[in-house]
Structure 1
Amino acid sequence: MRSVALVLAIMLLGGQPAVGSTNVWLARALSAAVSTRDAMDSVRAFDAIAKANGGNREAGRPGYERSREYVERVLTRAGYRVYAQPVPFLAFRVDTEKLAAPGEVKVLMAQFVPSGKVTGQLARAAQAGCQVADYRPGTAIAVVPSGVCPIGDKAVAARDAGVRAVLVYDVSPVPDTIIRRRAVGTPLPVGFISQRSAESLPAGIATLELSGRAVESTTVNLFAETSGGREDSIVMAGAHLDGGADGPGINDNATSVAAVLETAVRLAPYQRKAPNKVRFAFWGAEELVNVGSTHYVDTRTPEQLAAISLYLNWELIASPNFVRFVVDGDDSDHPDTGAPAGPPGSGEIEAVLSEGYRVQRLPFRTADLNDIRSDQEPFARAGIPIGGAFGGVRGVKTAEEAAVFGGTAGQPYDPCYHQPCDDVSNVHVGALGEAMRGMAWAVGRFAVDDDVRR
């Protein structure tokens, strides 16, 4: 604990973290050894897998299985014993998604909503669509913006107003973006269209046809761990291996997987030297809301959970309009914002993740836990200290962030999030290398000393 306290004290004084103490020998070795070029080889491999398998790497689909096989081969060659955990889950398969209004307009069916074919008057809601009064009488297909209230609330209000289907669009600096999302429990068919389509659609007669079905499926979580290290002191580091249904899933999340994979390969020669066991995790079905990681945590015994000292998670680390974000594990520095805090010990993890950027003399920002909903959440619910880093998702880069990190103010961190354009061209290679070196620093640091307060 004295080493973490020393790091915190130096950070508060504005200096560089202490890197000469004995607990950072492996952190320095790993952060120096990881190769951006080798990580990009993995990124390109995942891109090729997606292109050869229907354009995606969705859980339960061939692209995911080929991705899993690739990760397993790399880890096995590095000398790890690799094992998988089957994960049952409910998938959603779309059969038809078509909007004629007039002409063909691209529409994506929401996941887990009713199917239906509706012909009738199409009209935009007067407001956000959260109230019955927002819908014009006689509307059969309503067009509403996202936000203000959940999609389910909009659908209920629409139904009560006599509407038979709802089309939702995001107000975005990238007006052609369409993002498919879950809308569990809605009483009406729901589809997503782009802002440009929503603004250009004339009121009039339209036909919307949406049909899909929930199907029982199985995916896997993949694991590799060091052969040495304490069984009662396990450091976990992971990223989700699956992508969304509508794109290759390269920044989200092949970049993070490639970085975790490269970190594992460079740690392999130290498997019996590191005092703590390190377990690398590659999660399935995160895009359906942390299904794989939740299944893993839920199937651990109390003793197995107690043996996990901490969990580190990475997401979208190479966003093209990136900011270096570190998850804020401790809300004590801004108690009035209502930002959630991680379990005890998470603030100390934040300090070490921050140290991974400080030793590179790179600026970073902290972000609260709600800014990146991902596989750290089930660990946090189980009381395990968590931390993570990411490059920005759908948020819009501020002028201050552009001045510090470069890029374009007023544009999303990742304009291709869950889009067909999330391919290898959507990767900021420099950000990938910087985040990976920070990742390797944290993994090496905790592999030697994981003494965090719980």
Structure 2
Amino acid sequence: MRIVAFVLLSALLFPVPVAATTSNTWLAQRLSHSVSTRDAMASVRAFDAAARAGGGNRAPGSPGFQMSREHLEGVLERAGYRVTTQSVPYREFTVDTESLITSAGARVRVLMAQYAPSTRVEGSIARVTASGCAPADYPPGTAIAVAPSGACTTAAKTIAASEAGVRALLVYDPSPVADSVIRRQATGAVLPVAFVSRRDGESLSGSGVLELSGRSSDATTVNVFAETAGGRADHVVMAGAHLDSGEDGPGINDNATSVSALVETAVRLAPHQHRVENRVRFAFWGAEELINVGSTHYVATRTPEELAAIRLYLNWELIASPNFVRFVVDGDDSDHPDVGAPAGPPGSGVVEAVLTRGYRVQGLPFRTADLGDIRSDQEPFARAGVPVGGAFGGVRGIKTADEAAVFGGVAGQPYDPCYHQPCDDLSNVHVRALGEAMRAMAWAVGRFAVDDDLDG
């Protein structure tokens, strides 16, 4: 009776149409039914503890990253995988000073842009009159200009500001979260750059002293891999998520949730790893927050034969955003050619269909998102011609009223208000969303481990 009851309960929780119960979905069904949200959350808590013990983040080169790596490798090895690593060189940027004191004596929180020039500027502060993309946008005599993000790149704004005689640039996001400040890169900037909150960006005036000091150095981090013992070596299915956080927060939704779900999927796959048709390679990337450094290095160091063996790459990001939407990357733009959204390499449309199936078998709604909406580790694979796909819970975009009606949450607010903030900790995780995304993830991994046909 217990077995019958369990089967009936499973059928209610995870309805699978009869037509879908075919030989190529047996592992997809087993994995999606067996992954445990509780076990995944144990890893999420371990990564949160690593960030707290490691100085508040899990950035490359930090104690928090090293502790995260040790936890990850330990779980995979105990599951029966042989764990390997790849050294990844990168340019580390260390901030020594980031300070703004106004003439009124107020201290304003500023975050120096990575890889931007250092400076000490004293003088007038003025907001731009438009986007900051043209020299005419900057008031004459401005020493420190304040501009909103968007319309053009930060580097382009610095060029325009420099032509107007500005000596340093402050940038803010016109976000509903008035006090958040997000550090970004400013490669190509010709002026010193720092980021401030919207509240400060819209209120700064008068004069002040801005000090920004940073330095670059050569450093090394790692990519971590585990793959099945069975499966064809010339038919590799890759599934990945980045292990590192940004330097200004613990990175728990971004991206400990995805890593934890992928680890749990790997653990549940381990007992079946000799039965898979295709080799499954789990990848946990280093230095993604420095613009896909780990995955780009991996793709660049593959031989043509190794690259040709990779049948597809699956990527997950921020799967438990507190104001989530279930987004699946649109691998084929043929359904909206008027939009002109980028399409993935041939075969990406089939990858998308399998990923969406992972939600459909749970009876859950989802939305598709353009390939460029989530800039992450699928990008170097797509550039190399590997079919790609992925899913995420939403980043800094604003939830619409329609999305709130379908998925719950709050319209008019970001999907993840703590993105790259100190508050991206355990309190920033939507546990139910994590479990649902993980079951869809397990479905896709199991399906492609058995059948990687991408012909449609």
| 1:34 aligns to 2:35 (yes or no) | yes
Deviations 1:343-399 (A, max 9, x none): 000000100000000000000000010100100011111111111000000000000
Given that residues 17 and 359 in structure 1 are in contact (C-alpha distance below 8 angstroms), is that contact kept between their aligned partners in structure 2? no
2:220 is the alignment partner of 1:232: no
User: C-alpha separation between the residues in 1 aligned to 2:247 and 2:69?
Assistant: 17
Instruction: Please name the residue that 1:221 is paired with.
Output: 223
Runs of at least 4 residues off by over 6 Å:
none
Tell me which residue corresponds to 1:59: 60
Correspondences of 1:76-87 after superposition (within 5 Å): 76-87=77-88
Could you say which residue in structure 2 is the equivalent of 1:451? 453
Q: Do the aligned partners of 1:58 and 1:245 also contact (CA within 8 Å) in 2?
A: yes
The one of 150, 155, 159 equivalent to 2:153 is 150
The separation in 2 between residues aligned to 1:281 and 1:345, in whole angstroms, is: 21
Deviation at 1:134, TM superposition (A): 0.9
Cross-structure match for 1:286 = 288
Q: Deviations over 1:273-296 (max 9, x none)?
A: 111110000000000111000000
1:184 lines up with 2:187 in the alignment: yes
Task: Measure, in 2, the Cα distance between the counterparts of 1:275 and 1:156.
Answer: 54
Match of 1:367 among 364, 369, 376: 369
Q: Distance in 2 between matches of 1:134 and 1:344?
A: 43
8 Å contact from structure 1 (residues 17, 355) kept in 2: no
Superposition pairs of residues 99-248 of structure 1, within 5 angstroms:
99-101=100-102, 102=104, 103-201=106-204, 203-248=205-250
Deviation string for 1:105-156 (max 9, x for gaps)?
1000000000000000111111111111111111100011111111111111
- 1:253 has 2:255 as partner: yes
SS at match of 2:202: helix
Equivalent residues in 2 for 1:82-101 (5 A)? 82-101=83-102
What amino acid maps onto 2:178 in structure 1?
A: P
| Cα distance in 2, alignment partners of residues 311 and 370 from structure 1 | 16
Question: Does residue 265 in structure 1 map to residue 287 in structure 2?
Answer: no
Contact 1:16/1:358 (CA < 8 Å) preserved in 2?
A: no
Distance in 1, matches of 2:153 and 2:259, equals 31
**Aligned match of 1:356:** 358
Counterpart of 2:342 in structure 1 is: 340
Aligned residues of 1:110 and 1:192 also touching (Cα < 8 A): yes
Residue 80 of structure 1: SS of its match in structure 2?
coil
- Give distance in 2, aligned partners of 1:137 and 1:175: 28
The answer for the alignment partner of 1:6 in structure 2 is none
Structure 1 counterpart of 2:53, which letter?
A: A
Q: Classify the secondary structure of the residue corresponding to 1:354.
A: helix
Tell me the SS of whatever aligns to 2:432.
helix
2:282 pairs with 1:315:
no
Q: How far did 1:18 drift?
A: 3.3
Structure 2 unmatched ranges of 5 or more: 1-15
Q: Please list every run of 5 or more consecutive structure 1 residues that lacks an aligned counterpart in the other structure.
A: 1-14
SS in 1 for 2:234: strand
For residue 18 of structure 1, give the secondary structure of its aligned residue in structure 2. helix
Shift of 1:16: 5.6
- C-alpha distance in 1 between matches for 2:454 and 2:307: 15
Q: CA deviation at 1:19?
A: 2.1
Match for 2:156: what amino acid? D
Distance apart, 1:17 and its partner CA: 8.3
Cross-structure match for 2:330: 328
- CA deviation after TM superposition for structure 1 residue 336, in Å: 1.0
Aligned-pair distance for 1:205? 1.9
Return the letter of the residue paired with 1:89. Y
SS in 1 for 2:19: coil
* Mapped partners of 2:23, 2:379: distance in 1: 32
Does the CA-based 8 Å contact 1:40-1:258 persist in structure 2? yes
- Specify the code of the residue in structure 2 equivalent to 1:175: A
What is the Cα deviation at residue 199 of structure 1?
Answer: 2.1
| Aligned equivalent of 1:8 | none
Within 1, Cα distance between the matches of 2:333 and 2:270? 35
Structure 1 partner of 2:302: 300
User: In structure 2, what residue type is equivalent to 1:188?
Assistant: L
d(CA) in 2 for partners of 1:138, 1:336: 45
Distance 2:188 2:403 in 1: 38
Q: Distance in 1 between matches of 2:307 and 2:428?
A: 37
Matched-pair contact (CA < 8 Å) for 1:322–1:431: yes
Corresponding residue for residue 10 of structure 1: none
Identity fraction in percent? 72
C-alpha distance in structure 1 between counterparts of 2:167 and 2:228, whole Å: 55
- Alignment partner of 2:385 out of 376, 383, 386: 383
* AA aligned opposite 2:54: N
Which residue number in structure 2 is paired with residue 48 of structure 1? 49
- Structure 2: distance between partners of 1:150 and 1:53: 33
| Count of aligned positions | 439
Judged with a 3 Å threshold, the aligned counterparts in structure 2 of structure 1 residues 388 and 300 are, in CA distance, closer, same or farther, namely: same
Q: RMSD over aligned Cα, in angstroms?
A: 1.1
Counterpart selection for 2:395 from 393, 396, 403: 393
Contact 1:17 1:358 (8 Å CA) reproduced = no
Describe the SS at the equivalent of 2:271: helix
Q: What CA deviation, in whole Å up to 9, does each residue of 1:225-258 have, x standing for no partner?
A: 0011110111100100000010000000000000
> Does the 8 Å contact 1:107/1:193 carry over to 2?
yes
Counterparts of 1:429-448 in structure 2 under 5 Å? 429-448=431-450
8 Å CA contact 1:95, 1:211 repeated in 2: yes
- For residues 195 and 349 of structure 1, the distance between their equivalents in structure 2, rounded to whole angstroms, comes to 39
Alignment partners' CA distance in 2, 1:327 and 1:199:
35
Q: Give the TM-score taking structure 2 as reference length.
A: 0.95
TM-score, length basis structure 1: 0.96
How far is the alpha carbon of 1:451 from its aligned partner? Answer: 1.1
Q: Which amino acid aligns with 2:66?
A: E
Q: State the match for 1:18 in structure 2.
A: 19
Q: Distance in 1 between matches of 2:151 and 2:40?
A: 40
